[in-house]
Amino acid sequence: MTKLSVNVNKIATLRNSRGGDVPNLLKVAVDIQGFGGEGVTIHPRPDERHIRYQDAFDLKPVVHTEYNIEGNPIPKFIDLVLAIKPTQVTLVPDAENAITSNAGWDTKKHKAFLQEVISEFKRNGIRTSIFVDPKKEVIQEAKDTGTDRIELYTEAFASAYAMGNMDSVIPYTDCAQLANDLGLGVNAGHDLSLDNIKFFKENVPGLLEVSIGHALISEALYLGMENVVNMYLHRLK
């Protein structure tokens, strides 16, 4: 079973574009779960251009499924996660001015740092995941950080798949199998969509969770949120 966690950053972006509280982020999160979504993901950034730090606190009592908070573990982010204690924290090495996440961790270079951060989260009962490129050496080193899971960065797959390259999934298949062998859980996210999610799911062993935001929200503009959530669930199961 692969869980669908919906990233609601784009809902916050739309809200912020006009000020006020339309669309209401909390209602959207409640509705997504009511439609069958199995998790809610947010990725607050230091400039709070979409999700605000206060949103992270406000969402806590309404997310009754899995609550996943993504971000670069700067001190402010670490304090936020420790205060909220979500189901999962996903560590992403994005620069402050990045439009979106565009690379995974160098798990060898940053191993000591990741070990320190991850151990603190795990002491507080928070499941940890780290965002990684689909490279076997990165997965192997990730094991030593103490993380519970990895999240495979899927932009390369999505771009190649859109051009008809089915073999683009092979590195993800191989890395997921290695992670399974090492006892690491496997998540995935970034540019997964209704067009590619079924193929990806079928070719990535032990896929526990996908986090999908931009594509899902965009598809919902045409097809409706409830319909799109259930289309993803159908493809995943």
Based on the number of CB atoms within 10 Å of its own CB, is 106 exposed (0-12), middle (13-18) or buried (19 or more)?
Answer: middle
Residue of 38, 66, 151, 190 with catalytic role: 190
Q: For residue 103, name the pLDDT band (cuts at 50, 70, 90).
A: confident
Least confident segment among 8-22, 95-109, 151-165, 172-186: 95-109
Residue of 70, 141, 209, 219 with catalytic role: 70
Q: Is 70 a catalytic residue?
A: yes
Distance in angstroms (rounded) separating the CA atoms of residues 227 and 220:
8
Asked whether the predicted pLDDT for residue 127 surpasses 60, the reply is yes
Please state the pTM of the whole predicted model.
0.95
> Which CATH number does the domain housing residue 232 bear?
3.20.20.70
Q: What is the pLDDT of residues 171-207, one digit of tens each?
A: 999 999 999 999 999 999 999 999 999 999 999 999 9
Q: What is the pLDDT of residues 30-39, one digit of tens each?
A: 999 999 999 9
Report how many domains make up the chain: 1
Quote the tokens at residue 126. Answer: 């928070």
Distance in angstroms (rounded) separating the CA atoms of residues 203 and 236:
12
Q: Is 64 a catalytic residue?
A: no
- Whole domain around residue 213: which residue ranges? 3-236
Q: Is 190 a catalytic residue?
A: yes
